């Protein structure tokens, strides 16, 4: 197991990263294993640090004995619930691992991450730095997922068509003529209420055959500035419907992700940024350990 030095094994050292504004707190091989209650407290944007989720990762030796290339990821949403997978979260994790291991950023660095949705291949692409890496992840295959919703009209939305998609986590994707001023903080909870286990709710506008625009309500996190798995789900469904090509740029409020569809995988690429290193206190807000870092958005 790859463990950074700790002066106090009970202290959890976090780094905060974001992928297109979808932000995560990450703990690598923590001395104390945080849980959902920690996620709720630390992810709170008013009384905690602020994030869409908390990621724990545990290093394993690879089959060739090389340390640091294989990791196990555990994801807690901001509400304290476990989640199977996050596309932007796993990309942020790739950046955190690259820095933790001081990997050579002049060449591509390949990692393997086991998640609750299966194992995923992650590449931290050459030319990056903590201030900005491009990280690519193979998100696996998508399949038809949750049942479509009858609640869109209750939310004041007229949809052209909709699809349920599962890419290791559940999504409902609805095409609209224009995103306009759609308020996902109102739309999302109404539509998600149709599904007792919860799911991610997306509205998508088809700009042309190479570009989509996406607005998201995420299960356990609410409105987010980007959703990597949602971008993959939307691109896959729109491609199956003949609306877009196999390579699609998906624009979200936090920025644009590139989705590449193949028969065997869906690849998600985009920028990641390291924000800060943080040592949370037991009962209060965060104590920053590096000048210039931010403790929230």
pLDDT per residue as tens digits for the range 192-204: 998 988 999 999 9
Percent of the chain with pLDDT over 70: 89
Mean pLDDT calculated for residue range 245-255: 98
| Residues 111, 212 share a domain | no
pLDDT at 131: 80
Predicted pLDDT at 63: 59
Q: What is the CATH number of the domain that holds 193?
A: 3.10.310.10
Tell whether 72 and 92 lie within a shared domain.
yes
Residue 67, pLDDT score: 63
Top-confidence residue, 32 or 221 = 221
Verify that 121 and 233 share a domain, yes or no: no
Is 60 exceeded by the pLDDT of residue 273?
yes
For residue 160, pLDDT over 50 is answered with yes
DSSP string, 31-55: SS---HHHHHHHH-TTTS---SEEE
DSSP 8-state secondary structure symbol assigned to residue 180: T
Tell the residue number behind the tokens 């194992």, with chain if given: 119
Indicate if the pLDDT at residue 282 is higher than 70.
Answer: no
Number of domains forming the structure of the chain: 2
260 lies in some domain: yes
Q: What is the pLDDT of residue 3?
A: 40
Residue range of the domain that includes 31: 14-137+272-288
Among 129, 156, 137, which Cα is nearest to 266's?
137
Do the domain assignments include residue 293?
Answer: no
Tell whether 23 and 133 lie within a shared domain: yes
Residues 117 and 172 in one domain: no
Least confidently predicted of 59-68, 124-133, 201-210, 285-294: 285-294
Residue 8 is assigned to a structural domain of this protein = no
DSSP state of 11: P
Of the candidates 144, 140, 80, which has an alpha carbon nearest to the alpha carbon of residue 115? 140
Please give the average per-residue pLDDT across 9-30, as a whole number.
91
DSSP code for 85: -
- Token duo for residue 168: 């290791």
Residue 204 lies in a domain: yes
User: Would residue 296 count as lying in a domain?
Assistant: no
What global pTM score does this model have?
0.89
């Amino acid at each position: 197991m790859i463990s950074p030095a700790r002066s106090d094994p009970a202290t959890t050292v976090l780094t905060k990263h974001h992928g297109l504004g979808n932000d995560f707190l990450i703990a690598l091989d923590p001395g104390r294993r945080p849980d959902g209650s920690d996620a709720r407290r630390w992810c709170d944007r008013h009384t905690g640090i602020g994030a869409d989720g908390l990621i724990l990762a545990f290093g394993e030796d690879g089959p060739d004995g090389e340390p640091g290339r294989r990791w196990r990821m555990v994801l807690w949403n901001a509400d304290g619930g476990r989640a199977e997978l996050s596309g932007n979260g796993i990309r942020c994790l790739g950046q955190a691992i690259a820095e933790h291991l001081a990997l050579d950023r002049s060449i591509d660095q390949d990692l393997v991450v086991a998640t609750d949705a299966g194992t995923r291949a992650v590449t931290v692409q050459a030319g990056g730095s903590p201030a900005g890496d491009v990280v690519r992840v193979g998100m696996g295959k998508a399949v038809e997922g949750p049942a479509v919703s009858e609640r869109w009209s209750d939310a004041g939305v007229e949809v052209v068509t909709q699809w349920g998609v599962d890419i290791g986590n559940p999504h409902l994707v609805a095409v609209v003529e224009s995103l306009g001023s759609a308020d996902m903080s109102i739309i999302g909870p109404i539509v998600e209420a149709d599904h007792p286990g919860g799911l991610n709710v997306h509205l998508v506008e088809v700009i042309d055959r190479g570009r989509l625009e996406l607005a998201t309500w995420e299960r356990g996190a609410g409105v987010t500035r980007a959703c990597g798995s949602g971008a993959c789900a939307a691109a896959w469904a729109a491609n199956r419907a003949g609306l877009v090509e196999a390579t699609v740029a998906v624009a979200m409020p936090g920025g644009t992700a590139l989705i590449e569809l193949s028969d065997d995988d869906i690849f998600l690429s985009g920028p990641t940024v390291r924000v800060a290193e943080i040592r949370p206190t037991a009962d209060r807000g965060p104590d920053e350990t590096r000048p210039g870092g931010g403790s929230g958005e």
